[in-house]
Each structure stands twice: as structure tokens, then as C-alpha cells.
Chains A and B, each alone.
Chain A
């Protein structure tokens, strides 16, 4: 395993993530603008796409808020990179110094700013070991935190799920209505279902941060739910920026895990349209593929 190659690829992915949004989300924004009928929403969506061009031309970040960095790293036998956190922290420090990232990570109680976008538990790295996997997958996502204000979690019960899951659907739709313009719509929604509270919360972030927003869930029941909920939420008229329009939601992404017979934990996690994330697959033999 080439440690130097991995370090370089992780560094490059982080810089790529903070200077643009992933191609799938940009494509969905363009589609939303093409079919938008509300003039205010048209101007908001145009401003978003124009902002991407300005940021690119001026070599600036896309959004002033760097959000919160979480990474997912999966590895196989004998290819876990050494001291991955230091590599990520160095890249975060460099991106902060260059003005791509505003120093925004603080102690939760004293509110003291660390000045370099790292701190206790930051960056968060989620590790996954897959026996026999002959590559390392690394994805980093910077998720804005205004979007967090709309998030919700509920330990549902069989009775609360309701007939044809109407209770579950209402919980998700109502949460999207209450979030309205707060999570910088058009937003994406990650939903974790099952496990206990901690597991469903982690699944909700992983679903919206690591999947392409234009993919189709291989689980047919979840694929149908994702489509139904996205269409319903868009039909509510909330629109880009939350000031009215045809598209408030670019994607709904769900993940499930088995749970206990008494409960059904559900976590709803919003992601702003500024989907700053990047990912790479680095094979043991040195080949590299872009994931996001």
C-alpha cells in the first residue's frame, strides 16, 4: 500500500470538495432551473449556478460556511492507511489558511473557536472494515449547519408507523415543511431507519453525504419511498430558498438497518444544495478512481 499516494489523494479530494459541489447535484440544480415556473425561484436558482461559476473563476470557496467535516473510510485486509486523521487535519488547516474554509469549529459550551476547523472529535472519521476489499474508499463531506436546525429524530412505534406507513410519511413531510427555507433549499434529505437512535442518525448522514443524489436505491421499497416523498415535498410549493417554487428537494436518500421489535427509530437529516464532497477509490495496486 502506497502511503504517499493515499495522502496525496486524500489531500486532493479535500481541496476538490471545498472548491465546488459534486457534479450530480449541479446537474439536478440545472434540471430544476429548466422546469421552474416561479420567477423568484428562477432568480434564486440562477444565482446559485452563477455563484458556482464565480467561485470557480475566482478560485474561492462556494459558500462562506465550511459546515462540518465528516469522512467515511472503508478498507480491507492490511490496507488501512496510517494516521489518516493527521492527513485530513493537515489538509483542513491548509484550506483554512488559504481562505477556502472559514474557521468555524468551536467548543460546544465555551464557544471558543479553534481557528483551524479541527477540534475534539473533528474531523469525524467513520471507519468500515470489509474483509477482502482490495481498495480503500475515502469520501469527505462538508455539510452546512444551518441545515442541521431542521433535523428531527423520533423513536417511532409500530402504531406510529401507521397503515401503509402513513405515519412515517407524515413525519418526514411535516419535518420538511417545518424546515422550509432554513436548510438552504433546494435541499437533499437523508433518512436513517432502524437500529437504535445512534445508528439511525449515522445512517441518515451517510445516505445523503455519500450517495450520488441522482442514483436509484437498489432496495426497491426504499427506492419507491424516496421517489414518492421527493415528489410530494416538491409539490408543496416551498421552492428554492423557501420563498415559493416548484423544487425545494433535489433528493431523498434512505438507508435501513434491522431494529428491535418494539421500535422504529427514524432520523431525518437535511443537506443544503452546496453539496461539497469528494471521494476516491485507491486500489492496492495503485490505480485511482473518482467516486464523487
Chain B
């Protein structure tokens, strides 16, 4: 288990160098995206229109922050933490094609993501769940917000971050998933303890 400090944009070789259990801190920019933003990207890609951000080497965070609008019109981030990533499983291939190298969330993702991690060279990072006050300390500023009409959680927030983490590599680009291996072992134990 190694510790890495990465700055966005992250290269494919940097992402491929990350192994299961490694600890990562991210600096640079993080783009929040959840269900509705992913649907927007899908529609834009299908119609051939440009995406709102350059996702090459990007870190996509499955999250919706609490932000308060300041008197000068800027945004102040109060809280941010991961949302359950499996909802974004249908976009495994799409985010790979978009060029994202770090997907940050909680709870892990499925087989399609694991395959896309290997194909496109990206990794899935687990953030500490429910730790929104602690994770917010790594966010230095809100650069801007896109799709605010979708509501505060569903908007695309471009966040300037410094040593954002700790994040643990839960799925790497070599076909390894801590979630898959734990699930397999757990089912085996249940079959032994409670045979039908």
C-alpha cells in the first residue's frame, strides 16, 4: 500500500500505476457529477455537442455539496461527501471515453466499471462515507457551477482542491475490485454457516 499525491489532469500512466489499497490525495480540480449530470453528458455526446468541461485526466466525484451563496454572488462550500456510486454504473464506458482518470465515490461499482477501468486506464477511489465536514477541508474554492437548474445536489460543481482525501483505491485498472473479492468471500462464509 503506497500513498500518492496526484494533481489533475491525471495521466493514464499515473492512473494505471495505482493499485488496490493505495491511498490517494488529489489536488487541482474535481468535478462533481451524479445521476442528472451524467444523463446530460450522455445526451450531449449523442447529439455531438461539446461537454461543459474538459474531462481529459479529470477527477469525477459522485457527490452533491452543500453550498451557500455569498452576498457577492460567489459560492461557499459547507459540506461535501460521496454519494452511492452504483447508480452511475450505466456510464462506465462513457466516462472512460470522456477521459476521466479518477472516479471518486462510495460503495464501489460493478463489472462494467471494472472492465472500463482496464480498457481506458482509470481507477475507482473510495472516500470515507458520511465524512462531509472533514472532506470539505480539502476544498479551497468553488470555481463555478453548471446545470444549477438541476438543483444543488445534481449540478456540476467545479471545485479547486488541495490534498483532497484520503481516498483509497477500491478498483484498479488491472481487474481488481476490493468490493468483488469481499463479496465473494462473504457469500462463501454464509453458505458454510447457513447451508440450505
Contact = CB atoms under 8 A, between A and B. Distances in A.
B133 A61 contact: yes
B133 A184 contact: no
Contact of A51 (B84, B128, B182, B183): B128
B185 A236 contact: yes
Interface in A248-285: 272-274
A181 B126 contact: yes
B153 A180 contact: no
Nearest to A104: B153
B84 A64 contact: no
Contact of A242 (B107, B131, B136, B153): B107
B108 A63 contact: no
B68 interface: yes
B51 interface: no
A174 interface: yes
Interface string A153-187: 00000000010001101100110011011111100
Contacts of B166: 43, 47
Contacts of B64: 64-65, 102, 104
A235 interface: yes
B186 A58 contact: no
Contact of B21 (A40, A111, A241, A242): A40
A185 B151 CA distance: 27
A184 B129 contact: yes
B37 interface: no
A180 B179 contact: yes
B190 A170 contact: yes
B152 A102 contact: yes
B132 A166 contact: no
Interface string A13-33: 000000000000000000000
A272 B128 CA distance: 12
Interface in B53-79: 63-66, 68, 78-79
B105 to A, nearest CB: 10
Q: For chain B, what secondary structure do more than half of its interface residues adopt (helix, strand, loop), or is it mixed?
A: mixed
Given A51-B128, A102-B152, A149-B87, A241 B106 contact: yes
B134 A54 contact: yes
B130 interface: yes
Contacts of A106: 151
Contacts of A272: 129-130
A113 interface: yes
Contact of B66 (A64, A169, A174, A183): A64
A178 to B, nearest CB: 8
A170 B170 CA distance: 27
Contacts of B87: 149
A60 interface: yes
B193 interface: yes
Contacts of A39: 1
Contacts of A244: 178, 182
Contact of B128 (A44, A170, A174): A44
A48 B128 contact: yes
A182 to B, nearest CB: 4
A99 interface: yes
B182 A180 contact: yes
Contacts of B152: 102-104, 113
Interface of B: 1, 21, 36, 63-66, 68, 78-81, 83-84, 86-87, 106-108, 126, 128-134, 136-137, 150-154, 166, 168, 170, 178-179, 182-183, 185-187, 189-190, 193-196
Given A63-B130, A149-B87, A180-B183, 11 more contacts: A48-B130, A55-B133, A62-B130, A99-B78, A102-B152, A103-B152, A104-B64, A112-B151, A182-B108, A184-B129, A272-B129
